[in-house]
Amino acid sequence: MTTRNLIPLIIVLTLMTTNCSSNRREFGKTPSGESVELYTLKSATGVEAAISTYGGVVVSLKVPDRAGALGDIVLGFDDFRSYLLPPPYFGAIVGRYGNRIAHAAFTLDGVEYKLAKNDGDNSLHGGTRGFDKVLWKAKPGNGQSLELTYLSKDGEEGFPGNLSVTVVYTLADNNELKIDYTATTDKDTVLNLTNHSYFNLAGQGEGDILAHQLTLNADRYTPVDKGLIPTGELRSVEGTPLDFRQPHAIGERIGSGDEQMVLGRGYDHNFILNRTGDGLSLAAKVTEAKSGRVLEVLTTEPAIQFYTGNFLDGTIRGKGGKVYGRRSALCLETQHYPDSPNHPAFPSTELRPGATYHTTTVYRFSTGS
């Protein structure tokens, strides 16, 4: 073959290589100079998810409205450096322990472990440098999936055991974003992994979520004290603003004088899911009338934290310069109950050597009338 004949072949090979890696770009550099990458997954049906190796953050999630127009429906930042600032945990993988641990301490096998107090007297979302602030190792799939791994060393943020964690994001052609969480440990430990995406189905930065309609498949929830720590009671939602067994607008009862709504400054509660068996089961459904977008959340987890962005206050400017005001998004964080390590009656969050932690959550998008 002559050099001239080789040129078309070289062009084709170059294009193929570029195409394979075109879903990856540099997002930024950590303060210690490590490169942070952003991977964009695309489904054949046009849904797009951009995921950062820093914090495993879902930076953007574009899904069609009823006219087929793609809109970004999660809060976040265009620039990487904003993710280094104090957290609202936009889109991040949260761990080791999503949600709160009272007094930032727990006892396991007779040993007391002390954690950082990063939320008043309590520990929130894994501590001062949780999984949302670490760099994950990426292994891209076929352009529709991304595997992220992280080794959390024994003693990190006060938790026992070397914990090896894998999170796989998969964007399926039926407009589902699936998240699989797997972990193993070499010492008894506790663990509660989740994703902290803030959704606004009208589009990120497009006002508040009070008119979104929500259904939650939960007869009970864990009432909280003023530090948002569960009291231990499993209370019926019946006759309260927390009853979403039939669809309700989120804003309909959020301002009621109900003690729990006052303590939560809105919805910031863990709902116990009605479930049968261990498989994926429907936890929540959200609809937004103007765009027609529908979000369904399915999970293998026993509970879901419903949070209405009560602590957002308009001081954060996000993607496209949008201002994120109070209740401009909602979180549906699938998980175990908060503070489980201090509540032996709650489903256990303990992981022992030889056992494998595995949970799955699916965010399914569609449109309705």
Residues labelled as active-site residues: 196, 333
Q: Which of 27, 89, 199, 363 binds ligand BGC (CB under 6 A)?
A: 89
Question: Using CA atoms, how far apart are residues 39 and 20, in angstroms rounded to an integer?
Answer: 11
DSSP assignment of 18-86 equals HHHHTTEEEEEE-TT--EEEEEEEE-TTS-EEEEESBTT-EEEEEEE-TTS-EEE-B---SSGGGGGSS
Question: Using CA atoms, how far apart are residues 184 and 355, in angstroms rounded to an integer?
Answer: 7
Shortest Cβ 12–ligand BGC spacing (Å): 48
Smaller CB separation from ligand BGC, 23 or 359 = 359
Q: Which of 307, 346, 357, 363 binds ligand BGC (CB under 6 A)?
A: 307
Using an 8 Å Cβ cutoff, are 179 and 368 in contact? no
Is 333 a binding residue for ligand BGC by CB under 6 A? The answer is: yes
Question: Using CA atoms, how far apart are residues 286 and 43, in angstroms rounded to an integer?
Answer: 22
Is 262 a binding residue for ligand BGC by CB under 6 A? The answer is: no
Question: Using CA atoms, how far apart are residues 349 and 303, in angstroms rounded to an integer?
Answer: 12
Q: How many residues does the chain have?
A: 369
Smaller CB separation from ligand BGC, 269 or 285 = 269
Is 157 a binding residue for ligand BGC by CB under 6 A? The answer is: no
Is 88 a binding residue for ligand BGC by CB under 6 A? The answer is: yes
Question: To which H or E segment does residue 13 belong?
Answer: helix 3-21
Is 43 a binding residue for ligand BGC by CB under 6 A? The answer is: no
Shortest Cβ 213–ligand BGC spacing (Å): 21
Contact window for ligand BGC (CB under 6 A) among 66-74, 174-182, 254-262, 304-312: 304-312
Is 79 a binding residue for ligand BGC by CB under 6 A? The answer is: no
Using an 8 Å Cβ cutoff, are 227 and 120 in contact? yes
Is 228 a binding residue for ligand BGC by CB under 6 A? The answer is: yes
Shortest Cβ 42–ligand BGC spacing (Å): 28
Shortest Cβ 198–ligand BGC spacing (Å): 8
Using an 8 Å Cβ cutoff, are 266 and 327 in contact? yes
Is 244 a binding residue for ligand BGC by CB under 6 A? The answer is: no
Number of residues that bind ligand BGC (CB under 6 A): 9
Question: To which H or E segment does residue 335 belong?
Answer: strand 331-335
What single-letter amino acid sits at 235? R
Chain contacts with ligand BGC (rule: CB under 6 A): 88-89, 228, 268, 305, 307, 311, 331, 333
